[in-house]
Each structure stands twice: as structure tokens, then as C-alpha cells.
Amino acid sequence: NAGVTQTPKFQVLKTGQSMTLQCAQDMNHNSMYWYRQDPGMGLRLIYYSASEGTTDKGEVPNGYNVSRLNKREFSLRLESAAPSQTSVYFCASSGYTDTQYFGPGTRLTVL
Amino acid sequence: DAKTTQPPSMDCAEGRAANLPCNHSTISGNEYVYWYRQIHSQGPQYIIHGLKNNETNEMASLIITEDRKSSTLILPHATLRDTAVYYCIVYKIKAAGNKLTFGGGTRVLVKP
């Protein structure tokens, strides 16, 4: 039981490049989330998916798109990366208890 | 969601109990108290949560005052691996788009 896994762990992009962050969970959770954490700051919600087939914007969605591929997987795409998107990205999932379980994070640097 | 107030930092001796306070004076009746921690560079880790009653699990105990305006997280025997930032969060469960609002938290340093 791996919990929440994220790939890649580290990524460096140039401004304007695109990439997709992958997240998967094996806990049969309905809800999944993407957060970003800037240095010294708390987490901010980017997008969430309350159930398979649905996605909704969070607090800071601009510059991102998401796909809930199936119940297990929730991906985050940066179409045209900007230096302001340099951050640590965390994926989380929750089940019927609403407790969120987090992945290890992806450290993204945009030059 | 109700806001929380926590001390910015505290030290604790290894092997002793660590008592982390949290004020949430504007908590509403359907909001739970959750505690998470974040060890340096890692994803936040769930510790414990409660509504009214005190709760205990293998990691910690949660004491909630009768008026629910404050709570205390107790780590019974702190180890060096418990050094982390601890976040007290109140939020409604079963609310669509529920987001965890991580405030400043308490930076706990466990010393040998």
C-alpha cells in the first residue's frame, strides 16, 4: 500500500515549456487535490476533484489544468511554465472521513 | 472556516511530553479540529482530529476544551523525529472543495 505517489520528484523547466505532474493513490479515495507550497508559506489549493469525472478550481488555478484520468490518477498540467510557478507541488487524496493524505511532493523550478 | 492561533515555535526535550496549544475561538458547531505536521521538505502528515471529545491514537492525543474554543495536541514521548512544523486546522467535513488552510503553525524542535 504505497498511499499517494507523485512523479517526478524534481523538475527544472525553462519559461514557456510545458509539463505534466502525475499523482496516483491506491486507497480507493474519491477525492483528490493539488496544492502548491511556496518557500516559507502554507499550502494553497490549485484544483480538486471531488469524484471521478469532476474537477473544480481552487484558490490559485490560473496557469494550470487538471485531468482526473480515473479514480486512482489526477494529473496537473502546466501549459506554459512561468518563473512564478516555481514551487513545491503536493497531491493529496481523501475518502469518506475527509482526512487528506499527501504525497511526497514535486519540486519544480522554472528558469 | 474558523481561524486558528498557534505559538510560532517551541522546544521540547527528547523523551518528554510535548503539549502544543491552539486557539480557535470562532469555531462553529460543525467544524472539526485537525492536526497535521510537516517534517522538512516532506508532504504534510495527518496526526489526529476531533469534534468534541478527546481523542487518542498511536501518534498523539487531542484534548478539546468543553467550549471548543481551544485544543492541545500532546505528543506523549517526543523523539528527534518529531521535529516538524505542526498545524492546527479547523474545517467542515463533507463540504465540496474542502481545502486545508495551513496557517503559520508551530515549529517544534525536539532536543536531545
Average pLDDT for A40-69: 91
Across-strand partners of A94? A31, A100
Which of A56, A97, A102 shows the shortest C-beta gap to B97? A56
Return left, alpha or beta for B29; rule: phi > 0 is left, psi -120 to 50 is alpha, else beta: alpha
Q: Any chain A CB within 8 A of the CB of B94?
A: yes
**Under an 8 A CB cutoff, do B98 and A98 touch?**
yes
Percent of chain A with pLDDT over 90: 82
**Chain B environment of A97 (Cβ under 8 Å):** 93
- Please check the confidence at residue B96 and state whether its pLDDT lies above 80: no
Percent of chain B with pLDDT over 90: 78
Look at the block and give the residue holding cell 515555535. B9
pLDDT of residue B102: 81
DSSP A9-22: SEEEE-TT--EEEE
Q: What is the pLDDT of residue B95?
A: 65
Q: How far is CA B84 from CA A49, A57, B35, B109, B110, in A?
A: 29, 30, 12, 7, 9
Q: What is the signed CA dihedral for A58, B106, B22, B20, rounded to 10 degrees? A: 140
How large is the average pLDDT for residues A16-45?
Answer: 93
Answer whether A47 touches B (CB < 8 Å): no
B33-65 pLDDT, tens digit each: 999 999 988 999 999 999 998 999 999 999 999
**B30 — pLDDT class (breaks 50, 70, 90):** confident
**Lowest-confidence pick of A9-13, B27-31, B81-85:** B27-31
| Beta strand pairing call for B9-13 and B18-23 | unpaired
Nearest CA in chain A to B91: A98
CB B64 within 8 Å of CB B54? yes
Residue B2 predicted with pLDDT over 80: no
Closest by Cβ to B102, choosing from A43, A56, A105: A43
Write the DSSP string, B43-63: PPEEEEEESSS-EE-SS-EEE
DSSP structural state of residue A61: -
Q: Which of residues 49-78 of A touch B (CB under 8 A)?
A: 50, 56, 58-59
A84-111 pLDDT, tens per residue? 999 999 999 998 878 899 999 999 999 9
Return the pLDDT at B40: 86
Residues of A in contact with B45 (CB under 8 A): 102
Q: Output the average pLDDT for chain A.
A: 94
Tell me what pLDDT residue B97 has. Answer: 60
List the one residue out of B18, B32, A39 whose CA is nearest residue B9: B18
